[in-house]
């Protein structure tokens, strides 16, 4: 973490701060409320530029399903404004305070910069898919706008998707426009005890392949005792109006009955359970442990899980139908090497999501890019941040 904190009150002040850093060749660590400092590599910078003072919803048109807010706006503030109008954030981004031990909530800019999405991603897409427009300051201190404030717009080069998931390495987000949707009136879940993880993924695949539209599909290797779920359990969620939820859950129960004895969870229990899935609370990671996210084809999820259990008795949580494997284990290079090997064997990727700084500085927190892709990424970085002052080394050493 840097010694000095810059927290501008306006986009113009952000631009001046970045321009001054570029002129001096001094790197900046970019953050919102700093809740995810333990994510990816540590940034070596003398100063931190925070967007925490760029707060407030600047546009909200519920009838048009569009919301714009400054990048430093706390996520709970946005969720509360949407809830008043019966709407919600489509990608269901997680509240990571517990996982990172943070007191302050995540900001909209931080969630978009990390492209964080929750269980609903399998049905409605990632955070990146719902960003309609952005304003940001590039590494030269220039203010750039991309996209718009309407659902249908033609923008040419889609910088919105480029900035989403770039972890502040290409620009400092100052304002974001999102598509939003009506929140479901009701929800319910179907839980099925399974013999093993492979059987669990088969059950989830059957549900996801059905016409009943699950919006969540998770596999709980340790179960969820607080909800009366013991042992490996597959869980499918339905969200809609009350009557369709009841009908579709009933049809799903009939569909999965040959695989076991499905149990229905009511709306209150369902919401609480999926909140814990979204925030990886069911993973049970201790403060001293590292946390990884491994993304693989869903059918490869059980093999990844088995390999990591054998390597270091990993604790696990599978989301997205088995395609997202949350892993908790010792914060060691040996454990990280096992995660990388399992991800590669499964044809997927890994992210070192949380770890002590020495480990994050010593290992590849993300897979290396293939040379052609790395060359493109280097040209993009040179165009948007020619002096390399924005979050240098955050994603990869020397980048």
Q: Which of 262, 278, 294 is the last residue of a domain?
A: 278
Angle formed at CA 157 by CA 152 and CA 158, multiple of 5 degrees: 55
Tell me which residue of 358, 366, 346 sits closest to 306, measured CA to CA: 346
Residue 150 confidence (pLDDT): 74
Same domain, 176 and 46: yes
Cα–Cα separations (whole angstroms), residue 243 to 23, 172, 214, 324 = 61, 45, 15, 31
- pLDDT (average), residues 367-377: 96
Question: Would you say residue 157 has pLDDT above 90?
Answer: no
Q: Look up the domain containing 357 and give its range.
A: 281-362
Q: How many CB atoms lie within 10 A of CB 170?
A: 23
Same domain, 34 and 2: yes
Q: Which of 252, 278, 304 is the last residue of a domain?
A: 278
Same domain, 52 and 177: yes
Question: Would you say residue 365 has pLDDT above 80?
Answer: yes
Same domain, 178 and 192: no
Same domain, 179 and 79: yes
- Euclidean distance between CA atoms 346 and 387, whole angstroms: 37
pLDDT digits (tens, 9 = 90+) for 317-341: 999 999 999 999 999 999 999 999 9
The CATH number covering residue 216 comes to 3.30.70.2190
Question: Would you say residue 3 has pLDDT above 70?
Answer: no
The CATH number covering residue 325 comes to 3.30.70
Contact between 148 and 133 (Cβ < 8 Å): yes
- Euclidean distance between CA atoms 372 and 8, whole angstroms: 37
Tell me which residue of 373, 200, 384 sits closest to 396, measured CA to CA: 373
- pLDDT (average), residues 9-21: 98
- pLDDT (average), residues 257-264: 94
Same domain, 237 and 298: no
Question: Would you say residue 154 has pLDDT above 60?
Answer: no
- pLDDT (average), residues 371-395: 97
Question: Would you say residue 210 has pLDDT above 50?
Answer: yes
Same domain, 145 and 105: yes
- Euclidean distance between CA atoms 362 and 26, whole angstroms: 23
Same domain, 305 and 285: yes
- pLDDT (average), residues 76-83: 98
The CATH number covering residue 20 comes to 3.30.465.10
Q: Which of 278, 310, 335 is the last residue of a domain?
A: 278
Same domain, 239 and 375: no
Same domain, 142 and 270: no
Q: Which range, of 149-153, 251-255, 277-281, 283-287, averages the lowest pLDDT?
A: 149-153
Same domain, 8 and 154: yes
Contact between 2 and 46 (Cβ < 8 Å): yes
Same domain, 1 and 66: yes
- Structurally, the chain folds into a number of domains equal to 3
């Amino acid at each position: 973490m840097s010694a000095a904190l810059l927290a501008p009150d306006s986009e113009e002040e952000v631009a001046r701060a970045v321009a001054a850093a570029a002129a001096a060749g001094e790197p900046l660590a970019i953050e919102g409320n700093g809740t995810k400092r333990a994510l990816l590599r540590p940034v070596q910078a003398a100063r931190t530029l925070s967007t925490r003072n760029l707060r407030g919803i600047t546009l909200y048109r519920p009838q048009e399903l569009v919301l714009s807010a400054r990048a430093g706006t706390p996520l709970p503030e946005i969720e509360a404004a949407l809830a008043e109008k019966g709407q919600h954030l489509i990608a269901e981004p997680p509240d990571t305070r517990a996982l990172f031990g943070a007191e302050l909530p995540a900001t909209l800019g931080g969630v978009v910069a990390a492209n964080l999405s929750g269980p609903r991603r399998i049905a409605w897409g990632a955070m990146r898919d719902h960003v309609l427009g952005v304003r940001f300051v590039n590494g030269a201190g220039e203010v750039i706008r991309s996209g718009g404030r309407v659902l249908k717009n033609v923008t040419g080069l889609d910088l919105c998707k480029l900035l989403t998931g770039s972890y502040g390495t290409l620009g400092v987000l100052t304002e974001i426009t999102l598509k939003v949707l009506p929140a479901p009136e009701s929800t319910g879940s179907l839980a099925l005890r399974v013999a093993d993880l492979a059987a669990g993924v088969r059950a989830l695949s059957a549900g996801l392949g059905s016409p009943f539209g699950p919006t969540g599909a998770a596999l709980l290797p340790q179960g969820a005792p607080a909800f009366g779920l013991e042992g490996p359990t597959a869980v499918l969620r339905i969200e809609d109006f009350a009557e369709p939820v009841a009908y579709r859950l009933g049809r799903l129960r009939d569909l999965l009955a040959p695989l076991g004895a499905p149990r229905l969870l009511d709306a209150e229990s369902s919401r609480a359970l999926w909140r814990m899935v979204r925030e990886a609370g069911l993973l049970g990671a201790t403060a001293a442990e590292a946390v990884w996210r491994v993304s693989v084809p869903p059918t490869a999820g059980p093999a990844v899980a088995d390999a990591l259990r054998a390597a270091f008795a990993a604790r696990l949580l599978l989301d997205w139908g088995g395609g997202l494997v949350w892993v908790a284990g010792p914060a060691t290079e040996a454990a990280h090497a096992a995660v990388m090997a399992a991800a590669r064997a499964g044809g997927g990727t890994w992210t070192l999501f949380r770890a002590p700084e020495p480990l994050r500085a010593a290992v590849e927190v993300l897979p290396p890019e293939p040379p052609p892709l790395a060359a493109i990424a280097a040209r993009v970085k040179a165009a948007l941040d020619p002096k390399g002052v924005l979050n240098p080394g955050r994603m990869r050493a020397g980048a």
